Amino acid sequence: MLLESLEVDKFRNLSGKLACRPGLTILTGDNGHGKTNWLEAIHILATTRSFRTSKLQETICFNSDTAVIRGIVKQSEDIHREMRAVLQGNTKSFTVNEKKETIQRYLGQLHAVVFNADGLEIVRGQPDQRRRFLDSAIVSIYPPFVQTLFDYNRVIKQKNSLLQTARDDAYSIEKTAELLEPWNQQLAALAARVHRARVRYVERLNEVLEKKLFGREEITIRHLSSLEDKGDLADYENLIAERLKIRVQAELLSGYALVGTHRDDLEILFDGHDLRKFGSAGQQRSALLLLQLANLSV
């Protein structure tokens, strides 16, 4: 797929049109003239999210209440699609060929990968940064996964709320287990789906990295989870359900869900060594770039 043109209106300090030719496009200009803003607009158009802020209303020009991003995407020789993002206050809407789409149906029309200094948090930062990187990559090739993540996070939030109430009000283990049962059933089913998707994606990513298409360095991704990485969906679900039953007392004491894929991590190995602990700044940047390029080939 190829972004052929990009048009923005009232987006940060930009209103105008950008033509994109096949191959490499380089944006040049003085500081403060909006080069990064163009890249941000492309990222929002492709992913519905900004790589600079979690509040899209911050991207709307000061003298306006609405910003519009429009792109023409060539998906094959005979197929062109118009993608449009409309940002208005705290709301956002997305259309393809003038038809309003859900986020789930909209994603996947255009792929975009960002490489910048903030991206090093994927290597250096906390596990949630690496989980977000992995999940975003999965969503880019399988948009329905975004709904699974939404449902999983909703269940975790509800379960944590219940656990904190149970701890503060000194519920018995038996009562807590009874109240948790419906949430744990949902959690086991959703966690199994998240786990399977992550395992499969990491396997495919490592297959691409093994080919060393983008450099000589040996980069490997290891999925760190309390679950085995081999099995089918039913195996994962049963295993999670058993662990949930065992950890009721520990969860009651802590007030938080201790079993699930929200505790997963990724280990990025550079020539066999943990990049986060032993890699130089240059090696970390190189590995991150290789990961981003490999994501495009999965």
Q: How far is CA 34 from CA 39, 119, 126, 155, in A?
A: 9, 20, 31, 40
Q: Is residue 224 part of a domain?
A: yes
pLDDT for residue 216 is more than 70: no
Which DSSP string do the residues of 141-201 spell out, in sequence order?
H-TTHHHHHHHHHHHHHHHHHHHHHHHHTT--HHHHHHHHHHHHHHHHHHHHHHHHHHHHH
- Based on the domain organization, do 73 and 175 belong to the same domain? no
Backbone φ, ψ for residue 20 (5° rounding): -115, 120
pLDDT (mean) for 132-145: 91
Q: Count CB atoms within 10 A of the CB of residue 90.
A: 8
pLDDT for residue 217 is more than 90: no
Lowest mean pLDDT among 87-96, 210-219, 230-239, 257-266: 210-219
pLDDT for residue 214 is more than 70: no
- Based on the domain organization, do 88 and 232 belong to the same domain? no
pLDDT category of residue 76 using cuts at 50, 70 and 90: confident
Give the CATH number for residue 291. Answer: 1.20.1050.90
pLDDT (mean) for 225-231: 79
Structure tokens at 212: 């060393």
- Based on the domain organization, do 9 and 147 belong to the same domain? no
Residue 213, pLDDT score? 62
pLDDT category of residue 198 using cuts at 50, 70 and 90: very high
Residue 147, pLDDT score? 93
Residue 265, pLDDT score? 96
Residue 1, pLDDT score? 77
pTM, 2 dp: 0.81
Q: Is residue 18 part of a domain?
A: yes
pLDDT category of residue 117 using cuts at 50, 70 and 90: confident
Q: Are 259 and 226 in contact (CB under 8 A)?
A: yes
**Which residue carries 């206050």 as its tokens?**
89
- Based on the domain organization, do 9 and 57 belong to the same domain? yes
Amino acid 81 reads R
Which DSSP string do the residues of 12-59 spell out, in sequence order?
TTEEEEEE--SS-------TTSSHHHHHHHHHHHHHSS-SS-S-GGGG
Give the CATH number for residue 91. Answer: 3.40.50.300
pLDDT for residue 32 is more than 80: yes
- Based on the domain organization, do 170 and 272 belong to the same domain? yes
Q: Which of 106, 137, 169 is the last residue of a domain?
A: 106
What does the alpha-carbon distance between residue 187 and residue 184 come to, in Å, rounded to a whole number? 5
Assign 202 to helix, strand or coil: helix
- Based on the domain organization, do 160 and 52 belong to the same domain? no
Residue 37, pLDDT score? 96
- Domain ranges, residue 59: 2-106
pLDDT (mean) for 90-119: 89
Which DSSP string do the residues of 79-131 spell out, in sequence order?
-EEEEEEEEETTEEEEEETTEEE-HHHHTTSS-----SGGGGHHHHS-HHHHH
- Based on the domain organization, do 188 and 293 belong to the same domain? yes
Name the residue among 95, 200, 193, 82 with its Cα closest to residue 141: 200
Q: Is residue 254 part of a domain?
A: yes
Q: Which of 51, 77, 106 is the last residue of a domain?
A: 106
pLDDT (mean) for 196-206: 94
Q: Is residue 25 part of a domain?
A: yes
Cβ burial, residue 283 (10 Å; 0-12/13-18/19+): middle
- Based on the domain organization, do 102 and 127 belong to the same domain? no
Structure tokens at 150: 């939404």
Name the residue among 259, 204, 266 with its Cα closest to residue 237: 259
Q: Is residue 291 part of a domain?
A: yes
Residue 91, pLDDT score? 93
Q: Which of 51, 85, 106 is the last residue of a domain?
A: 106
Residue 49, pLDDT score? 92
Q: Total structural domains in the chain?
A: 2
pLDDT (mean) for 162-174: 91
pLDDT for residue 230 is more than 80: no
- Based on the domain organization, do 291 and 197 belong to the same domain? yes
Higher pLDDT, 158 or 20: 158
- Based on the domain organization, do 239 and 278 belong to the same domain? yes
pLDDT for residue 194 is more than 80: yes
pLDDT category of residue 99 using cuts at 50, 70 and 90: very high
- Based on the domain organization, do 8 and 27 belong to the same domain? yes
- Based on the domain organization, do 94 and 132 belong to the same domain? no
What does the alpha-carbon distance between residue 284 and residue 291 come to, in Å, rounded to a whole number? 10
